[in-house]
With several copies, the nearest count.
Chain A
Amino acid sequence: MDLKEWFASRQKRRDNPEVKQPLTTEEYCALWTQCFQCRELLYTRDLRGNLFVCPKCQYHFRISALDRIEQMVDEESFQELDAGLCSADPLQFVDTDPYPKRQEEATRKSGLKEAVVTGVGKILGRTAAIGVMDFGHFGGSMGSVVGEKVARLIEHAQKNKLPLIIISSSGGARMQEGILSLMQMAKTSSVLKSFSDAGLLYISVLTEPTYGGVTASFAMLGDLIIAEPGARIGFAGRRVIEQTIRQKLPADFQTAEYLFKHGQVDMVVERVKLAEVLAHLIDFHSGKRGDKVQTTQASGVKTSASRA
């Protein structure tokens, strides 16, 4: 099922809600979602309408790449790139299961071929090269395909002089591809070097959760870095650190707010304001050197988005 079909079928499902029949347990569960943070039971449709942000405690749920695109990118504007790329099994890796079987499982769960969706789309009318990672696919892990799709996206952005936006969410490197997954860090960073030297804008958005090789490569290399509230972001995982240093870490360790306090991200932006802030930043960095804008109130976005 490609992206267009997916959006179409979802639209159809929404237009024809069938809730008259008594619900099976499964259906009942799908209808309600419990907030991870405040434990409130939320009506899933309302939660979706609220961009998967708990209306009670503002907890930002993990969302799929396609949901993110639907939320953030202007309707029908998204043109996917490299949709056909999928993983090989260079190591013939087997742990408790062979790698290809795990790949199939991941695809069955996420509906995606790989853990990142890349393409070109408009954000409130501004064209950008956009990459969105999906933690729901193989833990958002970066293997050859994720690295390659990100690299190609960057190259596409550079060739077409587009601003680049990558929404990261990842558990780290794809172990099943061994050293080749590690090399994706070098690959993506190397391509970003050329992109940056060309004077183009890259905004990195960090979402729950972003770890390991993704954080330690393209995700931390944004000209500007935005994090979603509450997102946990780091290089090493909390448990590994606690085992190493043999002490408890602060409760808010590695949250977006903690990183903000430690000068690692430019702003923490609520999901509801994300598109607006991105549009503002794209506008601010577009145009030629010394260009003047006509009004002083271009794309309106309140400063409260940046938490002082």
Chain B
Amino acid sequence: MANNDRKPVPLEFEQPLLALAAQIETVEKQLADNPDIEEDLTRLHEQYELLRRSLYAKLRPIDHLAIARHPQRPYTRDYFERWDPNWLELHGDRKGADDPAMVTGLVQLAGHKLVAVGTQKGRSLKDKQACNFGMPQPEGYRKALRAFHHAQKFGLPVVTLIDTPGAYPGMTAEEHNQSEAIAINLLELAGLTVPVVAVVTGEGGSGGALAIGVANRVLMLEHAVYSTISPEGCASILWRSADKVSEACQAMKMTAREIFHLGVSDEVIEEPLGGAHHDYALTANNVAAAVARHLDDLCKLTPAQVRSARQSKFRRMGSMQDAH
């Protein structure tokens, strides 16, 4: 079970906090010799807490992106393992491949038996490479589809965890019809009569994310992002400049709060202060609680209602005007 015993690696925007922490450390060392600076220390601690809170209260979109992409961020397997130490992973698309970038399994969560599906980024360099840094191949989406059909057959709810820069843009991926793999999942997810809850836990990148995201409820972790294209891609196309990533992040409205206000997500799940990587257990619990709550809700509906609710939800999405 991957853990976050290691100290969280700080991000760039956290530098002021680090500087203050270093100062505190220096002062603490002098405390034994100068008991009178204890008051200063207390003040420094207060300042630290204040700065910390204000820092995370007014994060720029690009700061959220940095947290969402933090190399220590909990990944799909970290959640499944914490939710159900006895979860059983199901492997393969039955047609020649088992894409490690897509994890599927049987997981119990707060009494719900579910088919769990999620993208996986890989922790070690070797893992990362095997997982294509969380970018599934068509075979991965077809493995997910097998899981969806399994869920449908046995009346099990589906929970998906989304953390992917997008579908893998590779040569064989195109040859094996990445487009069809994604499109079929959109179609089939729309048709399921079992409840589907999706959680964007990190990056929700493009069609590669949506392919496991057509859910009755779409939840997002506080620092997660969700976008049509990567901010880098957006900047290079619209601004024709790789320097404009921050502007692109801002313009695309990709943070959890913004996505919620656009009506595309249903709930923002709080993260530990500083981000999910500061406390895996707490994060896993927060997500579990939110998911369970939505599942409890959805389990009250009939199968037909579950499907039509999901279809109506996405049918309504968009913003337009009628000149007539």
Contacts and interface: CB of A to CB of B under 8 A. Distances in A.
A and B touch in the complex (CB under 8 A): yes
Interface of A: 83-88, 90-91, 93-96, 113, 143-145, 147-148, 151, 172-175, 177-187, 189-194, 196-197, 199, 201, 212-213, 215-221, 223-225, 233-237, 240-241, 244-245, 247, 249, 253-254, 260-267, 277, 280-281, 284-285, 287-303, 305-306, 308
A180 B238 CA distance: 17
- Ranked nearest first, the 10 interchain pairs of A and B with the lowest CB-CB distance are A263-B92, A144-B318, A289-B155, A236-B169, A84-B324, A189-B186, A90-B319, A190-B190, A292-B111, A95-B238
B96 A179 contact: no
B237 interface: yes
Contacts of B251: 91, 93-95, 178
Interface in B51-91: 81, 83-91
A216 B80 CA distance: 29
Interface string B103-117: 000101111110000
A184 B318 contact: yes
B108 A293 contact: yes
A233 B109 CA distance: 35
B151 to A, nearest CB: 11
B187 to A, nearest CB: 5
Contacts of A221: 183-184, 187
A253 B214 contact: no
Given A178-B253, A187-B315, A190-B310, 4 more contacts: A95-B238, A186-B210, A237-B169, A296-B83
A288 B190 CA distance: 23
6 contacts: A184-B317, A190-B315, A235-B179, A244-B168, A263-B177, A303-B88
Max chain A CB contacts within 10 Å: which of B100, B206, B310? B206
B318 A212 contact: no
A86 B321 contact: yes
B274 interface: no
A69 B93 CA distance: 30
Contact of A260 (B87, B98, B106, B187): B98
B318 A183 contact: yes
A241 B169 contact: yes
B262 to A, nearest CB: 6
Tell me the dominant secondary structure on chain B's binding face: mixed
A32 B258 CA distance: 49
Given A94-B251, A173-B228, A86 B323 contact: yes
A148 B214 contact: no
B86 A288 contact: no
A302 B86 contact: yes
A145 B317 contact: no
Interface residues of B, number: 93
Given A179-B253, A191-B315, A185 B186 contact: yes
Contacts of A172: 229
Contacts of B186: 185-186, 189-190, 216-217
A13 to B, nearest CB: 26
Nearest to A267: B91
Nearest to A258: B175
A117 to B, nearest CB: 15
Given A234-B179, A240-B169, A296-B111, A186 B314 contact: yes
Nearest to A241: B169
A234 to B, nearest CB: 5
B109 A296 contact: yes
Contacts of B100: 308
B234 interface: yes
B94 A180 contact: no
Interface string B149-174: 01001110100000000011111011
Nearest to A93: B251
A9 B93 CA distance: 45
Contact of A262 (B92, B112, B155): B92
A119 B159 CA distance: 36
A267 B88 CA distance: 9
A187 B313 CA distance: 9
Interface string B190-222: 110010000000000011001101100000000
Contacts of A94: 251
Contact of B183 (A95, A216, A262): A216
Contacts of A305: 88
Contacts of A261: 98
Max chain A CB contacts within 10 Å: which of B87, B93, B177, B226? B177
A241 B170 contact: yes
Contact of A263 (B87, B95, B239): B95
B227 interface: yes
